[in-house]
Amino acid sequence: MTRTIGIIGSGACGTALAMTAAKAGNNVLMWAREADIVADINTRHANAYLPSARIPDAVRATTDIGAVIAAADIALLVAPAQFTRPVLEQAKGFWRADLPLVLCAKGIELNTGLLLSEVARQVLPKAKIAVLSGPGFAEEVAHEKPTAVTIAAAKRALADDICRAMQAPYFRPYASTDIITPQVCGAIKNVLAIAAGLSDSRGFGDNGRAALITRGLVEMARFAVALGGRAGSVLGLSGVGDLILTANSRQSRNYSCGASLGQNKSIKDVLGCAACKTVEGIPTAAAVLKRAAAMRVEMPICAAVHDILSEKKSVDEAMQDLFTRPLKSEE
């Protein structure tokens, strides 16, 4: 039986996932705020947020979020992390208890320090919540480059069902029952990607980037375990997989943001760039430290990135502070 996948959000990531859901044999209904985006999807099979892709005929769009929720068998929320709460508040009056909610954004709510699943639980206390995370640049997914991701839900049957619905010839989801760690990794890898971009643009070399990535994984694991996640999940697609991708490519807005900051550009100048409008690692750095402080979890790389973003320290000062910290065991 053909199912309908609802896509709440019409940016590049939402469009790529809509195309994948269609390639997997589903009908797809997307929600967008902008009437011109809806018209382009429905008439030209195109979206300005992902201009190189042709959207399949099975994908339709609407400005009516209630219509998407009414039609969907599974709903993917692909709005940016800091807009998760207001979009869910808009959807709340239409939500059905039987409709799975798949959170696809990667971030932590700035004002509260909450994971997006915790935000969703506050707004939609009876929703069946899952998470999709992993290494997947939207443009490559849209052009059917091989991609593997994690889909996690507290109940394995739900994760398995969403995996089946989203599997396409080029898109392979793996199920997990650890809903915490993929969210933690998806958020913190953006902060670490900023650090990697900073390191590369300052000429700290491959050794420096390798150190940041490796010790960054330790910070991910500490944070995830403190929230009830599994340290071993950090070694999966949503952890080391996503971090390797994001911390090594200029396709990543977070890496590119760090690279620009490393060239002594101000944060205001960097965010003025059209390609850097949504850099999830910037609010996430502050949110992570707020939550980490409450749990007494040490996050020195994330703290260094936040100091640079808030212009408390220069890149060189922050790096020097990291390398002159007291010596300790690697365990």
Whether 155 is catalytic: no
* Catalytic member of 128, 189, 265, 313: 189
Question: How many angstroms separate the Cα of 188 from the Cα of each of 120, 217, 218, 299?
Answer: 19, 9, 11, 10
Reduce the DSSP state of residue 137 to 3 states and report it: coil
Residue of 156, 181, 140 lying closest to 20 (CA atoms): 140
> In the structure encoding, which two tokens stand for residue 180, read together?
């915490």
Q: Which residues contact 317 (CB under 8 A, 6 or more apart)?
A: none
Question: How many angstroms separate the Cα of 33 from the Cα of each of 20, 95, 115, 167, 172?
Answer: 21, 18, 24, 28, 30
DSSP 166-209: H-BTTEEEEEES--HHHHHHHHHHHHHHHHHHHHHHTT-HHHHH
Asked whether the beta carbons of 237 and 149 are under 8 A apart, the reply is yes
- Catalytic annotation, residues: 189
